[in-house]
Amino acid sequence: MVSPRRAQTIAYPATGARPRLRDTEPLAPHVIVLFGATGDLAKRKLLPGMAYLERSSLAPDIRVVGTAMEDITTDEFRALARAAIESFGMHKLDDEGWAQFAERLTYVPQSAGPEGLSSAVKGAQELLGPDCRRLHYLSVPPRAAEAVITMLRDSDLVADSRVVMEKPFGSDLASAIRLNDFVHEVFDESQIFRIDHFLGKEAAQNILAFRFANGLFEPIWNRNFIDHVQIDIPETLGLDLRANFYESTGAYKDMVVTHLMQVLAFVAMEPPTALEPRAISEEKNKVFRSLLPIHPSDVVRGQYVGYRDEEGVSRESDTETFIALKVGLDNWRWAGTPFYLRTGKRMAEGMRIISIAFKEAPRTMFPTGSGVSSQGPDHLTFDLAESGRVSLSFYGKRPGPGMRLEKLSMQFSTQETEHGGDVLEAYERLILDAMRGDHTLFNTAEGIESLWERSAPLLDDPPPVKSYPQGTWGPNAIHQLIAPSAWRLPFERAWRE
């Protein structure tokens, strides 16, 4: 059961308060303490994102204190940051912009201990003034989180601070409760931001607008009109030098409990009373509480051929690099409607889609051979890539004599709008929200524990992994899992550019 000590709540504003999803009130200056500052996530996303925020008008005055195990100097850290921004940044900096951002970067190695970290952070605070706040970003493996929290406590860096924690948050219910309890000994729940970068994507947030702002879709968003839902996030990437992490984690803990279930909550949640953190978090938690236990018979685990030959991987490894599962929600809106989730490494394409399959209309009025239902049900599809595309497919008449039907579609892309250039990268958006203290797009302790509780049957008795060739869509057993329906990926028709 979920821990009863969850009485600790976030101090959100009153429900009637002004929505905070687009809050533009001035922010206090911030020192961002980046743990794991030399790691892959920091290079690919965090440092480029912080550079863009600092150069834009969106963020307050910031300074970044990087820390990691590497014993390097501040100048070496700045060189690492510049290389990361040039290689991975969506927004490039000219020489002047880089010089201004570089001046805001300092580095202190972990070997300097709590005293060294405290001195560096307080030195940065003095440059920002008395109203300065702190944001600690834990870009570290889960097993290192407790050590970092302890260092923050010993460094006297807890007050007036918020802490961002990366996934996965625990590895089962017991470890999640233990980690939550430990973090709560140091930080109040209102200070903790458990990040899922999928929810920071503009396309993911557009689901809320699409569902609740349109009379066309809101009335039919339920079991009476929707046949099933697919959330499909295949990846072409492999381990990317993360064998030590992945061997103890696998696709389910790495992707499903974190990303896919959080996206499912946006698709399935009831209308919140307001677009504010407490209301949205509560509706997401209701979805997690209504999730039926995940049984091994509804799961296909896979491992790509060659995984056991990767450096750092056991030759007898049973870790799944692929997983597909069927889940259900035991509530009034969704009872009996299956949700199919799929993700994996070394697959045929890298995609991030949500596909809503509507129930088919009666076909009795159409003559044999008309083509009705020949290409499956109507679908509403969200592409969670940065382009933020949406497609609605339906049957229409083919021009010419007779009644011949074919599948047509209407498509939209965020990039087509006049505001397409305003899209924030997911980590940029979430760092900004954390500085604002806005929990809307972050996970809660209760939600995380609910998901681990429902995962217990699968974790206790996982089905054996089935091998699949690299560059495919997973083991053949996935087709029996979803029958008589079919997976949307690979698409029969490409997105229109």
Percent of the chain that is helix, strand, coil (3-state, to 5): 40, 20, 45
Q: According to the annotation, is 9 in a ligand binding site?
A: no
Which amino acid makes up residue 248? S
Which of 79, 173, 440 shows the shortest CA–CA distance to 283? 440
Q: According to the annotation, is 235 in a ligand binding site?
A: yes
Within 8 A by CB and 6+ apart from 471, the residues are: 236, 346, 347, 348
Which of 246, 238, 37 shows the shortest CA–CA distance to 148? 37
Q: According to the annotation, is 441 in a ligand binding site?
A: no
- Residue 291 DSSP one-character state: B
CB atoms within 10 A of CB 497: 6
d(CA 36, CA 177): 24
Which of 287, 286, 238 shows the shortest CA–CA distance to 264? 287
Which of 319, 298, 341, 350 shows the shortest CA–CA distance to 480? 298
Q: According to the annotation, is 38 in a ligand binding site?
A: yes
d(CA 342, CA 322): 8
* Residue 439 designated active-site: no
Q: In sequence order, what are the beta bridge partners of 229?
A: 339, 356
Q: According to the annotation, is 400 in a ligand binding site?
A: no
d(CA 15, CA 171): 33
User: What sign does the dihedral 300-306-307-309 (CA atoms) show?
Assistant: positive
Q: According to the annotation, is 112 in a ligand binding site?
A: no
User: What sign does the dihedral 466-469-473-477 (CA atoms) show?
Assistant: negative
Q: According to the annotation, is 167 in a ligand binding site?
A: yes
Sheet containing 379-383: give its strands across.
405-413, 389-397, 379-383, 353-358, 226-234, 339-344, 322-327, 299-304, 466-468
d(CA 32, CA 361): 55
Q: According to the annotation, is 420 in a ligand binding site?
A: no
Residue with tokens 């089962």: 172
Select which of 259, 295, 439, 479 is catalytic: 259
The token pair that represents 362 in the structure block = 């009666």
Which of 132, 241, 178 shows the shortest CA–CA distance to 5? 178
Q: Exposed e or buried b for every residue in 273-301, given b needs 16+ CB within 10 A?
A: ebbbbbbbbbbbbbbbbbbeebebebbbb
Within 8 A by CB and 6+ apart from 336, the residues are: 223, 328
Q: According to the annotation, is 232 in a ligand binding site?
A: no
Asked if residue 347 lies in contact with residue 321, where contact means CB atoms within 8 angstroms, the answer is: no
Q: According to the annotation, is 113 in a ligand binding site?
A: no
Annotated binding site for substrate: 197, 201, 235, 254, 345
Annotated binding site for NADP(+): 36-43, 167
Annotated binding site: 36-43, 167, 197, 201, 235, 254, 345
**Which active-site residues does the annotation give?**
259
